[in-house]
Amino acid sequence: MAMARTVRDRLLEALDDLTEGELQRFKAKLRDFPVPEGYSHIPRGRLEKAGPVALADLLFQFYTEAKAPQMAAGVLEAIGCKPQAERLLLGATRNDACSKAPLPFMSASAVGNRMQATVPREQHFIDRHREALIQRTATVEGILDMLYGTILDDEQYQAISAKTTSQEKMRELYKLVPSWNRDCKDRLYKAIKMKNKFLIDDLEGQP
């Protein structure tokens, strides 16, 4: 059975599909494309000589797995490479265990607006108590085991498990949370509560 394509695989495939001229336009547009609040543009010096593989690495390094595909898709659409952008977004949606249906394609301006969006009006428990859960959650391995195969793929599971401390593992896990829907966050909440009941009870008792 073929292994499922990861988000990085799909991003690299989209970048590999560009001609040399399109790749140069992509990098030029990326320098002035709107970035999410709290993030910064990739330095020009690091972009100039980057090929598809290095460019994919830079996108993940600067914008995380959750935001890099939308960022790249917006830039692709802005330079006239809409087919690659659509395949990147739709491919990511079809293979995302937390998605219920394909997302509509977003224009460059829509992507920029979405990535600049502020905190949602009603925060999920997982979002509201992010720092406390990162700092205080124990037995992270058991939580990962409960999420493996439904929310986490093998690459994500291994990357998180490779971290040393519980805090590092939770911080790595939280890099994925912005791309999750409410059902995925509910599953994470239930997994943490099963392994850290007293922590959840304490946080739920806070005003």
Q: What's the chain's Rg over C-alpha atoms?
A: 18
Q: Could you give the 3-state DSSP secondary structure of residue 151?
A: coil
Q: Kindly state the tokens that stand for 142.
A: 């058991």
Alpha-carbon distances, residue 189 vs 35, 55, 99, 149, 174 (angstroms): 29, 34, 17, 17, 12
Q: From first to last of the 207 residues of the chain, give the pLDDT tens digit.
A: 445 567 888 888 999 999 999 999 999 999 888 887 778 889 888 888 899 999 999 998 888 888 888 889 899 999 999 888 888 876 544 334 454 334 444 455 555 555 544 334 468 999 999 999 999 998 899 999 999 888 888 889 999 999 999 999 999 999 998 888 888 888 899 999 999 999 999 998 875
How far apart CA 6 and CA 95 sit, in angstroms, is 8
Q: Could you give the 3-state DSSP secondary structure of residue 60?
A: helix
User: What does pTM read for this prediction?
Assistant: 0.47
Q: What is the pLDDT of residue 158?
A: 92
DSSP H or E run through 127? helix 125-128
**In 10 A of CB 205, how many CB atoms?**
7
- For the chain, list the domains and their CATH numbers: 7-115 (1.10.533.10), 125-204 (1.10.533.10)
Tell me the sheet residues that pair with 112: none
